[in-house]
Amino acid sequence: MRGVREVCLAALVVMMMVSWYAVNLDSELGAVGESRFRRSVSAAQRRAWSASAGQLAASDSGGGSAGSGAPAAGALVGAAPALGADGCPLGRRPYHVLMTAASGKYQEWQSRIAYYHYLKQKRLNPCSEMGGFTRLVNLPGGRPDRLVDEMPSVVVKQLSGGRGDGGDYGFIVMNRPWGVMQLLKTAHWAKIVEEYVLIMETDHLFMHPPLNKATPTSPSAFKFYYMNSKDPKFIPVIRKYWTGSLDDVDPVGPSPAIMTKTMLEKLTPAWWDFSLRMKRDDPDANREFGWVLEMWGYTLGALSLGIRHVVDPDFQCEPQGTGMDGMSLYPIYHYTFDVRTERVWSISKRTFHGRYFPKNHRLPPPCSSESHFTLTTLFNEASANLPHWEGDDAHGDETPWPPPAHHWRHDHSAPAAAGAPWPPPVAQPLASPAAFTHAVVGTGPWRFGDKVMFFLARGVVTSQKGPLGAVKGGTASSGRWRFLSDADAATGGGDGSAASAAPLIVATCGGTFELTFQLDGSRWQFRAKPVGDGGGDGGEARVGSLDAPPPKGAHRAESAQLAPGSLAAIIAGAGPFAWAGMTPAAFLREGRFQTPWGVGTWGPKRGVPNVVEATFFGIEHELTLGSAECGRLLSVRRKDGDRVPVAFTHESPCE
């Protein structure tokens, strides 16, 4: 009987699922409210709203068994969230967007771009949790500026310069908690209808609406890597204000953050008090906390009240340097750091202190990081559509707005950037009769004086000074190798193990050399003779040696075992790559994977031609080709699904 009951129960569940699917299909086809909801709200948002609403209801009612995870009696697992009269989920918890700002043209152009993208996301996502908007601006004497007619604004008094009562102690950011202190006393604050507030800054740009992950007792805030309570230089200062566990010090600041209005009213006096005391009375805090002192004032002030945060590392992104990919994961772009490509393109907000950011800023080169394209697009769109934009048209002839369709993302069909094509041009035919080609390709590290070298596929050579290790942002040196002449390319042993082989010309940032190899048994060496600038020879020959077991076979024989056109065949012997921005990485002979942190293994995934498996430090990864044009791979760590880019970096930086 028990088995019969289980079968009947399973059949009932299936019937309910079919019925639910049919109802939803009918709603999609015919119901206007449901159609609008499905167009404007992502599945992830619906799940989050439904879950958060259920959690809050459970906590408010006190019902249910702690930790049971079982739904309440009569609940339909997987049911769609209930909709209001406007077709939006009833479980939403809207927040009022509060942007803190200061005086000056620098803050003015940032405020206008930020408000533009708030309005855009509000319009595109009518069922999001975004509510109203207020610009809180500190101005001298509290006198209105010209933006009060462009966006909802509350003008409060700005602290005067210098020390003493009413001064900012030379730290203009003190105006942020001081401005919020004044806001809380205004009629405008009392009229804000949303229960929650999202605090943002002028250099925050919305890419999609953030989810409200706060609770009535815990604000949600971004996890800043530089707000580390266990940093040895911070600990003595923190101990002056907090004697409990350092694990209780949340790595957050006051923005971006979401909290209830009541929470902000409770927290702001402590935020102001701690910031003022540290800035005015504590030279150690001034020295160690520096430009983030007011953020520490917020964090320590909250902690003094027993307030802990929902720490969210995905609340925003903060690209810097050569940028990052995966922008769709983040709702906010915080452009506090400068971004650039090698000697070609850059954006720094600090360049535009006394003037507007230019219109139509030049797009980054193809194959740049996704964040570079995102930031340029966000700026160019706003400046093109906002009236009376004072910035010059920086590059109107080069990149008209909207940009060409093939430019909108870094990995579309745009041609590869000059100097970094993928696959790179072949310096000599891989099918050359020279067995030497197949003997040396994909080998290293070679020790040459104070340098470490790798001879890689398609005539690429890398050279790094000092001990082999991780280098951030690119290889120390990347150059080319080629045969001295076509006749030399046809010489050498037949199996790659000849006692001597054809000379090579190697050109790196460290100079140009003619290399003659001795591939003798278990020890491979070369003699390097410098080639003078004028074409003549110069200097004495030096010796380099392979600091690894020589390969037993030829590169050609190994490659023949790989499926033609497979990812493994494409990357065999290739490099240099940057793994999550760190170099050098290369796919060497006999399945040796040179990583920035040591040697691992790599090889094709059995039965899956477009996937390569790589393991180092006992951690397994699967790699796929993200962009053939840009030489960009994607690694997924098996144990937790962590995704990082693996990018071809042959650009010869010579730095």
The residue length of the chain stands at 655
Whether pLDDT at 416 is above 50: no
Contact 496, 515 (CB under 8 A): no
Q: Are residues 377 and 366 in the same domain?
A: yes
CA 479/CA 654 separation, integer angstroms: 9
| Domain stop point among 274, 292, 316 | 316
Task: List Cβ neighbours of 27 (8 Å cut-off, separation of 6 or more).
Answer: 34, 35
Higher pLDDT, 133 or 165: 133
Q: Are residues 139 and 244 in the same domain?
A: yes
Q: Are residues 354 and 279 in the same domain?
A: no
CATH code of 285's domain: 3.90.550.10
Angle at 330 between CA 326 and CA 333, to 5 degrees: 100
Whether pLDDT at 138 is above 90: yes
Dihedral (Cα; 197, 198, 199, 200), 10-degree rounding:
-150
| Domain stop point among 552, 576, 608 | 552
The residue among 634, 638, 642 whose CA lies nearest residue 579 is 634
pLDDT at 84: 84
Mean of the pLDDT values across residues 113-139? 97
If one counts every other C-beta atom within 10 angstroms of the C-beta of residue 528, the result is 21
Q: Are residues 251 and 167 in the same domain?
A: yes
At 179, list the tokens. 């401005």
Strand order in the sheet with 257-260: 153-157, 130-139, 95-101, 196-201, 257-260, 220-222, 310-312
Using one digit for the tens of pLDDT, what is the confidence trace for 62-87? 333 333 333 333 334 455 668 888 88
CA 310/CA 241 separation, integer angstroms: 22
What b-and-e string marks burial along 48-75, b requiring 16 or more CB atoms within 10 Å of the CB? bbbebbeeeeeeeeeeeeeeeeeeeeee
Q: Are residues 332 and 307 in the same domain?
A: no
DSSP result, 389-432 = --S-BSSTTTS-SSPPGGGSSTTSSPPPPTT--SSPPPSS-TT-
Based on C-alpha coordinates, what's the Rg of the chain? 30
Contact 198, 256 (CB under 8 A): yes
Q: Are residues 138 and 273 in the same domain?
A: yes
Q: Is 272 exposed, middle or buried (0-12, 13-18, 19+ CB in 10 A)?
A: buried
Q: Are residues 194 and 137 in the same domain?
A: yes
- Give the confidence band of 437 by pLDDT, cuts at 50, 70, 90: low
Q: Are residues 289 and 176 in the same domain?
A: yes
Q: Is residue 276 part of a domain?
A: yes
At 191, list the tokens. 């009229």
Place of tokens 């094709």: 604
CA 124/CA 39 separation, integer angstroms: 10
**Strand, helix or coil at 3?**
helix
Using one digit for the tens of pLDDT, what is the confidence trace for 620-652? 999 998 776 677 888 999 988 888 888 887 654
Q: Is residue 35 part of a domain?
A: no
- pTM here is 0.62
482: containing domain: 435-552
Q: Is residue 81 part of a domain?
A: no
Contact 361, 373 (CB under 8 A): no
CA 39/CA 126 separation, integer angstroms: 10
Question: Cis bond leading into 152, ω under 30°?
Answer: no
Biggest distance spanned by C-alpha atoms of the chain? 96
Q: Is residue 639 part of a domain?
A: yes
- Give the confidence band of 48 by pLDDT, cuts at 50, 70, 90: very low
Strands 316-317 and 332-334 come out as parallel
Q: Are residues 299 and 334 in the same domain?
A: no
Mean of the pLDDT values across residues 251-261? 98
Q: Are residues 262 and 123 in the same domain?
A: yes
Task: List Cβ neighbours of 474 (8 Å cut-off, separation of 6 or more).
Answer: 322, 342, 578, 583, 649, 651, 653
At 23, list the tokens. 């109802």
Place of tokens 């702690």: 66
Percent residues over pLDDT 90 in the chain: 44
Q: Is residue 66 part of a domain?
A: no
**Strand, helix or coil at 595?**
strand
Q: Is residue 230 part of a domain?
A: yes
Mean of the pLDDT values across residues 268-295? 97
| Domain stop point among 276, 291, 316 | 316
pLDDT at 459: 81
Query: What is the tally of structural domains in the chain?
Result: 4
- Give the confidence band of 484 by pLDDT, cuts at 50, 70, 90: low
Contact 289, 297 (CB under 8 A): no
**Strand, helix or coil at 332?**
strand
- Sign of the alpha-carbon torsion through 632, 644, 128, 202: negative
- Give the confidence band of 422 by pLDDT, cuts at 50, 70, 90: very low
Lowest mean pLDDT of 1-10, 322-331, 365-374, name the range. Answer: 1-10
- Give the confidence band of 581 by pLDDT, cuts at 50, 70, 90: low
Q: Is residue 36 part of a domain?
A: no
DSSP result, 510-525 = TEEEEEEEEEETTEEE
Q: Is residue 172 part of a domain?
A: yes
Mean of the pLDDT values across residues 260-283? 97
Higher pLDDT, 478 or 419: 478
Whether pLDDT at 46 is above 90: no
Lowest mean pLDDT of 2-6, 56-60, 118-122, 615-619, name the range. Answer: 56-60
pLDDT at 35: 31
What's the whole-number average pLDDT of the chain?
Answer: 77
- Give the confidence band of 3 by pLDDT, cuts at 50, 70, 90: low
Q: Are residues 133 and 271 in the same domain?
A: yes
Q: Are residues 327 and 370 in the same domain?
A: yes
Whether pLDDT at 295 is above 90: yes
CA 40/CA 211 separation, integer angstroms: 14
Whether pLDDT at 212 is above 60: yes
Measure the N-to-C terminal CA separation of the chain; round to a whole number of Å: 78
Higher pLDDT, 583 or 141: 141
Whether pLDDT at 470 is above 60: no
Whether pLDDT at 122 is above 90: yes
Using one digit for the tens of pLDDT, what is the confidence trace for 351-360? 998 899 999 9
If one counts every other C-beta atom within 10 angstroms of the C-beta of residue 117, the result is 18
Whether pLDDT at 331 is above 70: yes
CA 131/CA 98 separation, integer angstroms: 10
DSSP 83: B
Mean of the pLDDT values across residues 212-216? 98
Contact 416, 426 (CB under 8 A): no
- Beta strand ranges found along 151-201 (DSSP E): 153-157, 196-201
pLDDT at 408: 29
